[in-house]
Structure 1
Amino acid sequence: MVPDNLRAGVTKNTRFETVIPRAYLEMAEYYDTAIVPASVKSPDDKPNAEGSVKFATTWILAALRSFHFFSLAEAKEAAAQKLEELNNRPFQKRVCSRRSAYETEEKEFMLPLPEGPFEPAVWATAKVPNDYCVSDRINRYSVPFDLIGERVDIRITKNMVEVLFHGSRVAYHMRLPKAQRDPVVIPEHMPEAHRKYLSYTKDSFLSWAEPIGPYTLQTVRHFLMADKEPEQGYKYCASLMRATDRYGRTRIESACERVLSFSSVPTLRNIQTVLKNGQDKVPLNSGPQIPVSQAKRCHGITRSADAFRKGGINI
């Protein structure tokens, strides 16, 4: 059976050019043959091939029209037997049969077939998006990240997804039959920063935070457990690791301690603010002590009822 993408035959055939579909041309190259289109309108050379096919089909179907088959295998076997009978049947105007004519006139010009049958492919063209993944309409597959914004050719078969750029293959993936949540990504296709992200796990972040101190460990645990999935907190943990490279472990531990002293929900923004302002360098509970006598007289803007009793307090 000829696949649907090969039924169209020649797209365009004029005296100036012949346009052949890519999948059809690929099949011809695979079998090391050439496609010679027939002339337009009423070609005299076309019936030579199609007439024989029509005659064989009509003869076999007419011979089997009274038979009943209960499986496709039985029908195929019967058709094959009738085809052998037709090939050995003598011509009416020649002293030979179709088989003997093939063996004496055509067989020596036949080329050996490839080891495997041709696998039809669907071709498509797409622009590589920012996530450097292309789609086969079921799953998404990675290409080298430096092709972002470029147009590539995608060759899709039953078991393979192949990506070509300017005629050269740049990516190759085994095609997945079922839809997957995550794209199929080859680490070599990713930039260095994205490649490092693949190595992140919940346990790796906890192992990194534990030697720094209990407050950093508590902060990292909050990042990993605040949402439904630990992966949602990977970004904050990674940013905290980068901040450690800049400020050092001691300052990170002090900043986490200060943020946790006034909030049970630490945020990366608060930690970065403490580090930028240097508040982590100031010990906790080290502010100047206000005498009790002055504390009673200093009410700020808001005053209680005592401030207005018996004329208030002289300030």
Structure 2
Amino acid sequence: MFCLRNQEFMASLKRSMRQIHMAGEKVFVDYAGPTLLLTDRVSGFVRQVQIFVGALGASCYIYAEGHLSQSLPNWIAAHVRMFEFFGSVPAAVVCDNLKSAVNKASRREPVINATYQNLADHYGTVISPARPYKPKDKAKAENGVLIVERWILFRLRKRVFHSLAELNQAIAELLVDLNNRPLQKLPGCRREAFETLDRPAKQPLPASPYQYEEFHKARVGLDYHVEFDRCYYSVPYQYKKQDIELRITASTLEVLSRGRRVASHARQFGIAIVTVPEHMEAAHRHYGLWQPDQALAWAEQVGSHLRQLMAQLLNDTKTHEQGYRLHNMLKGLAKEFGEDRLNPACQRAIEIGATSVSNVRSILRNQLDRWSRLKKNARKPTSSMTMFAAHSTIIEDQKHVKSGNITQIA
């Protein structure tokens, strides 16, 4: 009865096509189902370790290592070390449809993770995901996982490991023994087949090692900054409210718009705001980069009395905004009444103790800035007509002083 049922089951199975793998053509990668354990020396906390496995198509040469998770950084790092272990790069990488490799699984047009695709571009290889729910597409990976489970994981199952480096060292030692074991149906071993078939046919490693990069989509805010990992980075203000792409490495963050780099920053950690002055609008840049030294330098060019008044006013301010407004108000007076009148007006304000911008404006409106000039002229010998004119002007100023507008100044 058993043989009859088995024959019926075998007759119901679909036919399978035998796959022929060319030398140096493909490497099949996957994670093993069983895991190993890491035990903390102090707390005794136990963590599971995921086992990454890669197997070449022609020679069945195997690579394996342990990870704390199947996250994207671990997935990429495993490929880099696998290529270094092989000493060359195959033409294609056949993987499963895990999230670290494929963003959208599809039988015809799968969407590859941008970081994974960037790795493939760096090494000059192609990512070829297996079809969903079709394990026979990566039969070499499944067979390689089975061999690793039998000849490595089974032999390490009772050992206690306290660090990932210690565990990977044990895997590497057993990996040498696994690849040197004689094949059952073929002459030689996996290492000899690799040296004969795959290594000569594969392309060499690139000159520089791969630098890990992540890609994220983002949208520029109204303040022309983008946020990543609680840090804010500036973008040229022309790109506000636009969709962009971030390329992140361990040390840099680049902003890409339609494949073109528009900004680059040193990566920050924690909470930070990074703003490049060239990315700001002119008005924002003028306000954001304003310093009291700029105000004092401008006042020095106009005159010593303006500088003295400016220094006194800035000394009394408590915020950056107050100083910026004082600077702009005095520059407005210089534009309205002229710089040649502003300095004498500041001198008059200092003499009478009316050291505020509104008082300087009142002095200019009522032309009391001439008071200092008339006093200087009065000390010089002049003709009778000039003295009479000066005397008349002083009398006129005194009338203004008695008026309501100037009483509050004097």
TM-score (norm 2): 0.58
Deviation at 1:72, TM superposition (A): 4.0
Name the SS of the counterpart of 1:45 in structure 2.
helix
Q: Distance between the aligned counterparts of 1:220 and 1:191, measured in 2?
A: 27
CA contact (8 A) 2:309 2:346 kept: yes
Deviation at 1:170, TM superposition (A): 1.1
Does residue 318 of structure 2 align to residue 207 of structure 1?
Answer: no
Q: Distance between the aligned counterparts of 1:104 and 1:224, measured in 2?
A: 80
Aligned to 2:170: 78
Q: What is the aligned counterpart of 2:275 among 169, 184, 194?
A: 184
Aligned to 1:288: 399
Q: Distance between the aligned counterparts of 2:312 and 2:203, measured in 1?
A: 70
Q: 1:137 to 1:248 in 2, by over 3 A?
A: farther
Aligned to 1:20: 112
Aligned to 1:41: 133
Deviation at 1:81, TM superposition (A): 0.8
Q: 1:110 to 1:133 in 2, by over 3 A?
A: same
Q: Distance between the aligned counterparts of 1:261 and 1:195, measured in 2?
A: 36
Read off the aligned partner of 1:38 and give its amino acid letter: A
Name the SS of the counterpart of 2:274 in structure 1.
coil
Name the SS of the counterpart of 1:172 in structure 2.
strand
Aligned to 1:279: 366
Superposed CA deviations along residues 31-77 of structure 1, whole A, max 9, x for unmatched, are: 22212222232342123224313431452122123434454443332
Name the SS of the counterpart of 1:124 in structure 2.
strand
Correspondence 1:1-315 to 2 at 5 A:
1=67, 3-4=71-72, 7-8=98-99, 9-15=101-107, 17-114=109-206, 115-130=208-223, 132-180=224-272, 182-185=273-276, 187-194=277-284, 200-210=290-300, 212-213=302-303, 215-230=305-320, 232-241=322-331, 243-245=333-335, 247-254=337-344, 256=346, 266-267=356-357, 270=358, 274=362, 278-280=365-367, 286-288=397-399
Percent of paired sites with the same residue: 33
CA contact (8 A) 2:215 2:245 kept: no
Read off the aligned partner of 2:198 and give its amino acid letter: E
CA-atom RMSD in angstroms: 3.6
Superposed CA deviations along residues 154-203 of structure 1, whole A, max 9, x for unmatched, are: 222221110111111111112123434x5231x44344555556764333
Q: 1:264 to 1:274 in 2, by over 3 A?
A: closer
Q: Distance between the aligned counterparts of 1:54 and 1:251, measured in 2?
A: 92
Name the SS of the counterpart of 1:135 in structure 2.
strand
Instruction: Name structure 1 gaps, 5 residues minimum.
Output: 292-315
Q: Distance between the aligned counterparts of 1:256 and 1:109, measured in 2?
A: 85
Q: 1:279 to 1:165 in 2, by over 3 A?
A: farther
Q: Distance between the aligned counterparts of 1:246 and 1:260, measured in 2?
A: 21
Instruction: Name structure 2 gaps, 5 residues minimum.
Output: 1-66, 76-97, 372-395, 403-410
Q: 1:246 to 1:85 in 2, by over 3 A?
A: farther
Read off the aligned partner of 1:27 and give its amino acid letter: L
CA contact (8 A) 1:213 1:253 kept: yes
Name the SS of the counterpart of 2:132 in structure 1.
coil
